[in-house]
Chain A
Amino acid sequence: MVAIDLDKYARGQRLRWWAMRFVVYGLLIAWAIICMFPLFWTVSTSFKTAADVMKGNLVPWLDFTPNWLGWRSLGLSPDTVFNVSTVREEFMRRLWNSVIMSVAASALAVILGSLAAYGLSRFSYKFGYMRNSDISFFFLSQLIMPPVVLALPFLVLYKELALLDTYVGMIAVYTLMVLPIVIWIMRDQFATVPVELEEAALVDGLSIWGAFLRIIVPLVLPGMVAAFILSMILCWNEYFFAALLTSTNTNTLPVMIASQTGSQGINWWSMAALSTAGILPLVFVGVLLEKHIIAGMTAGAVK
């Protein structure tokens, strides 16, 4: 009697377990589709012709035959990639601008931010009435500053300084934009390094800068990488400042993508190819360096 009841109970339990599994994986798949479908749509549209786009064909090879139309208009299809193409040149220049600016700004922000975060975590300062907590707050409070507050003053100032549409100007803006985030991440990193390490280094005759460069930097390198990658993503995707402060020389990819409004209708396939080309580098970065990105985002959030 008891045995039968137990058996029934176990079966019910197993059924519930399977139902749970079913729900969990169902939800996972559903959300994965929500996340990936726009990406799939973008990539597949870049291989469609006008008719395919209008008919809303979805599955390549089944619904429509992929062709290189979108990529040809960018000069990046197999048959045009070796020919001279002004569009491709334009695209490469924008891509290059994006790369230079995001890498330079992130590197600068990581250097400045790490130094500041280290100083604030180890020494006590007094700049006028400002003490350490005030200085920290001064840096981190930049995070709530909406870009629009600085945008128009920057526009006027840059015009006066002849910095409009220059690399230096844009890199400075982007560095400013990501600096509080870097400081936020690095502060958390330095807090986990015990001071005894540097004390030992100082006893052994290193200066504070020597101890910082030779002992501390190697230890917090993962944190710096995380900060760098996160900054790079933010700079790469930045549109607002780029739209305002650049014109012909230093346009970035997002500006190029946004300015593709044709007068009559939109060439969806070339739009899609352009978007794909702009998105793909970051998707690769994201997939390969996911660990660092997550480390950067969760720094300081979980105590």
Chain B
Amino acid sequence: MTTIERDLLHTVEADSISAGRHFWGRAALWLSTLWLAASFVLQAAYVSGWITFGFENWRPVLYAYVLWAIVLCVTRVVLYGEAGKKALFVLPAALFVVAMVVFPLLFALWVGFSDWNLASLTGRKFNGLDNLRRMLSDPFYANALVNMVLYSLAIAVEYAIAFGLALLLSQDIAARKFWRVTFLVPLMLSPVAVSWMVGKSMLETRFGPIARLARWLGWENPSFFGDPLTARLSIMIMDAWTFIPFMMIMLLAGLQALNREVLEAAEVDGATKWQRFWQVIFPLMLPVSVTAVMIRVIFKLKLADIIITVTAGGPGGATDSVTSFIYREYRDRSNVGYGTLLAIIYLIIIVIGMTMLLKVSDRIVRRMTGRL
């Protein structure tokens, strides 16, 4: 990622903005800002009961925001001419993300420190650090966090398999496209359908084909979700099944982009296959590997669909991921306060963890590739 200090694409700006245009631009911007602020304050006052008139819901405030966003974009051009048109590229996406992420996040902080049962009429009650205290003594949340670590560790195995498959596909094989498409299919399938057909039907203890296979292999009473350890393993395998193709494709692209000459040089120098892999291919593939694993970790941290549909966290919350735990917490008690606080803490842990992971992997890559 390089920083562009000056415009890469230069434009000649030869427009002079007349005083009248400037005035109307400013006026429109101020008016719409005022309207947004006014509708917000009005509605806030109405909801908290200070005044007796207001809107039925917050919709009008949303409309005011949309109008404000449009006016902001238009006035960029009115006020700054050509230079303003450049801002129009980034502004819509930025305004959208601000409305959809920054604002809800701030709102989440407000929700997170409250006792708010959506089903009851009492509404939100501020309860200070109660949620935090409850979280610290909640064994299920701690268990879910530990599970996320375990699930993430499974990525190491997924990575090894994906790398193996990528190597297979980069061999000189017939009908490569066919194999590639076949291997890619699991990624297309909806996790919910997969959980039904694989998790519930194929792993069914009486008639599921995999249970049959397990019995045939000598496992007396196959049960894949009976005890915590096997249940976690089953979840890991199902999740791995859907996501291995993703890493495989990235690694395959990396393999195909490798410099042929380096590989040939190694072969000429008499390196064995094993040496060629560990001394040349693997180090050269490290940057791609890190990207693939990072993206995979990001997706793994969102893991929920399979757990919600197959085990619903069972047995006894043993397979819960953080997301599925919060989901159940909300479904069972319809209290948004506690769940939101758990989610915020989770986000903080993720941000710290990912930053550290990036730093460490960066160092490893630099050391390994520096050696070459």
For residue A34, CB closer than 8 A to chain B, the reply is yes
For residue A45, CB closer than 8 A to chain B, the reply is yes
For residue B122, CB closer than 8 A to chain A, the reply is no
Chain B residues near A217 (CB-CB < 8 A): none
- Report whether A147 and B93 are in contact in the complex, using a CB–CB cutoff of 8 Å: no
Q: B291: nearest residue on chain A (CB-CB)?
A: A301
Chain B residues near A173 (CB-CB < 8 A): 100
- Report whether B104 and A153 are in contact in the complex, using a CB–CB cutoff of 8 Å: yes
Contact of A175 (CB < 8 Å), options: B62, B96, B168, B186: B96
For residue B155, CB closer than 8 A to chain A, the reply is no
- Report whether B97 and A160 are in contact in the complex, using a CB–CB cutoff of 8 Å: no
Chain B residues near A151 (CB-CB < 8 A): 326-327, 343
For residue A283, CB closer than 8 A to chain B, the reply is yes
Give the shortest distance, in Å, between A217 (CB) and chain B (any CB): 13
Contact of A153 (CB < 8 Å), options: B111, B173, B197: B111
- Determine the distance from Cα of A290 to Cα of B201 in the docked complex, in whole angstroms: 28
- Report whether B241 and A258 are in contact in the complex, using a CB–CB cutoff of 8 Å: no
Chain B residues near A10 (CB-CB < 8 A): none
- Determine the distance from Cα of A56 to Cα of B187 in the docked complex, in whole angstroms: 26
Contact of B250 (CB < 8 Å), options: A149, A162, A297: A297
Q: Is the interface on chain B under 10, 10 to 19, 20 to 34, or 35 or more residues? A: 35 or more
Give the shortest distance, in Å, between B215 (CB) and chain A (any CB): 11
- Report whether B9 and A115 are in contact in the complex, using a CB–CB cutoff of 8 Å: no
- Report whether B90 and A119 are in contact in the complex, using a CB–CB cutoff of 8 Å: yes
Decide yes or no: A254 and B58 within 8 Å by CB, A124-B7, A143-B298, A240-B323 being known contacts. no
- Determine the distance from Cα of A183 to Cα of B246 in the docked complex, in whole angstroms: 19
Contact of B3 (CB < 8 Å), options: A24, A133, A138, A266: A133
Chain A residues near B62 (CB-CB < 8 A): 161, 163
Contact of A301 (CB < 8 Å), options: B11, B97, B192, B254: B254
Q: How many residues of A contact B (CB 8 A)?
A: 108
B305-331 CB mask vs A (1 if < 8 Å, else 0) is 100110000000000001100110010
For residue A225, CB closer than 8 A to chain B, the reply is no
For residue B26, CB closer than 8 A to chain A, the reply is no
- Give A residues with C-beta under 8 Å from B: 24-25, 27-28, 31-32, 34-39, 41-42, 45, 53-56, 58, 112-113, 115-116, 118-125, 127, 131-133, 135-136, 138-139, 142-157, 159-163, 172-173, 175-176, 179, 183, 195, 198-199, 202, 207-209, 212, 233, 236-237, 239-240, 243-244, 253-254, 257-258, 260, 266, 268, 271-272, 275, 278-279, 282-283, 285-287, 290, 293-294, 297-298, 300-303
Q: 9 more A-B contacts (CB under 8 A) besides A27-B164, A209-B88, A301-B253?
A: A38-B197, A41-B197, A116-B90, A139-B93, A149-B344, A150-B100, A151-B343, A271-B201, A297-B249
7 examples of A-B residue contacts, CB within 8 angstroms: A55-B207, A56-B212, A119-B89, A151-B327, A195-B9, A243-B327, A260-B196
